[in-house]
């Protein structure tokens, strides 16, 4: 069985809660959940076969603070052959121009590093003006808007996981 890690950055606890909910939906894969604030070296990213990376977005599209402090560790990690998925927390109403931009930053950091990207999501059902996490008409991962659409969260998580679950077994 592949080693799976859910690595997240959370300032208010929302992203941590979503990471735990994702772990609950993926119980068969026995993922390890890691707060990126506790990551001390690139080796943490290298020891897992599957990385599920999550972040919130702050201000005008800024990456969550703990990720901002550790992004160089992710950038310097040897990720060749790893499977990577993303989840992002954002506010599509107040920050419609930068919705889940932090997730786009994580994507930009790992693309081109020999990874297999999974878990892109159609933009249908989302309402925002712009996102750095939108590539080729899809979001690079699941976008969660607990501020405006908490009733969509469970369905979005389950649908997202089922779209790539068989690729990480």
Pairing assessment for the beta strands 121-122 and 138-139 based on DSSP bridges: antiparallel
Can you give the pTM of this predicted structure?
A: 0.96
| pLDDT score, position 96 | 93
Q: Which residues of the chain have pLDDT under 70?
A: 169
* Nearest-angstrom CA–CA distance, 58 and 56: 7
Residue span of the structural domain in which 77 resides: 4-167
Count how many domains the chain has: 1
CATH number at residue 34: 3.40.50.360
Exposed/middle/buried for 166, CB within 10 Å: 0-12, 13-18, 19+? exposed
| pLDDT score, position 84 | 97
| pLDDT score, position 169 | 60
| pLDDT score, position 122 | 95
């Amino acid at each position: 069985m592949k080693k799976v890690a859910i690595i997240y950055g959370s300032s208010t606890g929302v992203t941590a809660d979503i990471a735990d909910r994702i772990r609950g939906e993926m119980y068969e894969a026995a993922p390890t959940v890691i707060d990126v604030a506790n990551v001390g070296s690139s080796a943490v990213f290298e020891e897992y076969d599957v990385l599920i990376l999550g972040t919130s977005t702050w201000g005008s599209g800024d990456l969550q603070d703990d990720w901002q402090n550790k992004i160089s560790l992710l950038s310097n990690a040897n990720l060749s052959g790893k499977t990577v998925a993303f989840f992002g927390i954002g506010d599509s109403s107040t920050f419609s121009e930068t919705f889940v931009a932090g997730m786009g930053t994580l994507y930009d950091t790992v693309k081109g590093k020999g990874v297999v990207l999974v878990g892109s999501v159609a933009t249908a059902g989302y309402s925002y003006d712009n996102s750095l996490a939108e590539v080729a008409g899809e979001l690079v991962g699941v976008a969660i808007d607990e501020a405006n659409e908490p009733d969509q969260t469970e369905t979005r998580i389950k649908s997202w996981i089922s779209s790539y679950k068989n690729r990480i077994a």
